Amino acid sequence: MRALLSEMAGGPETLKLTNLPDPVAGAGQVVVRVGACAINYPDVLIIEDRYQVRPPRPFAPGGEIAGTIESVGAGVSGWQVGERVVAVIGHGGLAEKVAAPAAALHRLPDVRDIAEGAALLLTYATSLHALLDRGRLAAGHSLLVLGAAGGVGLAAVELGKAFGARVVAAVSSEAKAAAAIAAGADEVIIYDRAPFDKDASRALADRFKAAGGRGGFDVIYDPVGGDYAEPALRSIAWEGRYLVVGFPAGIPKLPLNLTLLKSCDVCGVFWGAFAARDPAANAAHVDTLFRLWVEGRIAPRVTQRFPLAQSGEAIAQMAARAAIGKLVVTMED
């Protein structure tokens, strides 16, 4: 089988397309013939040794897959050869086949596109866990989504609307604004690219405050970090929840006096650890996502598809924060 391997720490240019023996399903595993693998920001970090998990090399990046079960290992029940599945596996997805834990699998309905299936779990499950479990979002709340045209950002916009919130999307371009509006955002703010000096930071805070209105935002969803974080925090409501999701713009240093003045919470969001610690709660969330998908209230947006040999280009786009929606690698050239 073909696989795109990381043999040394570095950017996408260090990845090598290689032929490997087919994997064999161990105890508790199934072998999945990968049909599609979504690209996410952790793929940028993991090949640079900047992610919280560092698999031994060589390894294939790609943590979110959809495909068909090809074989079943010892001790696995409830799964059959030929079933279509989606899974978040951490890494290994940029390969034509992968041995995956059976516990990570979820069934993909036959009527659903396999590339969209690959684009569903990580972004939407992260956003659902963030908004409901950490942000306690409810109908009538106001929600600010930073980086709202990326995978998790669009998911947060759609889910925010599905749960009855007023959603303000913050993005960096007109094209990204159009994507956020198409996902259901009530209002869009187009901000400049960081870094910001004090005046620019204050001006952005004023724009966020104006969009949040007199009461401010009940929930702020931040998958961006960097210089965008403090201006956003200044627009939070009394006892609001600031959700820390990711840092592609850098790890911010927040002035903690703001949390005292607003009596607000700064909440970390680590979906992978949540799913591992409470698989039953995560399974219930996934069921919710499939229901919302069937009802047409969410829809994974695959904006570009790449063949396996060009996976590095997709990761480079993600690193440059140029992606709108989800980028997906398909195994058919």
Mean pLDDT by 10 residues, the chain (333 residues): 96 96 97 97 94 92 97 96 96 98 93 93 96 98 97 96 98 96 97 93 97 97 96 98 94 94 97 94 95 94 95 94 92 76
For the chain, what is the radius of gyration of the CA atoms? Answer: 20
Q: Are 245 and 274 in contact (CB under 8 A)?
A: no
Give the per-residue pLDDT at 300: 93
Question: Is 306 found in the same domain as 265?
Answer: no
- List the domain range (segments joined by +) for residue 17: 2-120+300-330
| CA gap 13, 225 in Å, rounded | 26
Does residue 99 fall inside a structural domain? yes
Q: Is residue 309 part of a domain?
A: yes
Q: Is 274 left (phi over 0), alpha (psi -120 to 50) or beta?
A: alpha
Q: 85-103 as b/e, with b when 16 or more CB fall inside 10 Å?
A: bbbbbbbbbbbbbbbbebe
Q: Is the pTM of this model over 0.85?
A: yes
Alpha helices in 236-324 (DSSP H): 257-262, 271-277, 279-294, 311-319
pLDDT, one tens digit per residue, over 59-93 is 999 999 999 999 999 999 999 999 999 999 999 99
Residue 333: predicted pLDDT: 59
pLDDT at 230: 97
Same domain, residue pair 130 and 246: yes
Task: Identify whether residues 94 and 150 lie together within a single domain.
Answer: no
Of 231, 254, 272, which residue constitutes the final position of a domain? 272
Distance, CA of 91 to CA of 59 (rounded, Å): 8
Measure the CA–CA gap between 197 and 265, rounded to whole angstroms: 26
Domain count, the chain: 2
Q: Is residue 128 part of a domain?
A: yes
Residue 255 has a pLDDT of 94
Instruction: Please return the burial class of 263, using the count of CB atoms within 10 Å of its CB with bins 0-12, 13-18 and 19+.
Output: exposed
Which candidate, 248, 206, 258, 257, places its Cα nearest to that of 227? 248
- Say which CATH number the domain at 189 has: 3.90.180.10
Please check whether residues 115 and 189 belong to one and the same domain.
Answer: no
Q: Are strands 265-268 and 236-244 parallel, antiparallel or unpaired?
A: parallel
Residue 279 covered by a domain: no
